[in-house]
């Protein structure tokens, strides 16, 4: 029988922040019915075997690099917005 993980359990297992997991869902890195399913509109359950395969298959490494680039771009945008504010 398949084992399922909640978002919090996935965060503990992978050391990803809760928001990072939601970002990966939003970016389609974790795919509905492949990596997780939603038994109710607000509940997300991850397939443990699919997450393990993703972690060992190099998906996590690619995401880490993508998140670093995205985070750097966000920081640059915020700096630009702050520098444009004139008091």
Domain extent listing, the chain? 4-83
Which residue, chain included where needed, has tokens 């922040």?
17
Q: What is the pLDDT of residue 4?
A: 96
Across all residues in the chain, what is the average pLDDT?
81
Q: Give me the count of residues in the chain.
A: 87
pLDDT, one tens digit per residue, over 12-50 is: 988 889 998 998 999 888 999 999 999 999 999 999 999
Residue 86 has pLDDT above 90, yes or no: no
Q: Average pLDDT in the 48-56 region?
A: 89
User: Which helix (H) or strand (E) segment is 43 a member of?
Assistant: strand 43-47
What is the SS3 assignment for 28?
A: coil
């Amino acid at each position: 029988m398949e084992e399922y993980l909640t978002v919090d359990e996935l965060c503990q297992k992978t050391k990803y922040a809760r928001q990072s997991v939601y970002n990966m869902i939003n970016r389609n890195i974790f795919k509905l019915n492949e990596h997780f399913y939603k038994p109710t509109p607000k509940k997300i359950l991850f397939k443990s075997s699919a997450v393990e395969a993703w972690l060992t298959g190099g998906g996590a490494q690619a995401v880490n690099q993508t998140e670093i680039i995205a985070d750097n771009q966000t920081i640059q945008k915020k700096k630009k917005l702050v520098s444009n504010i004139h008091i």
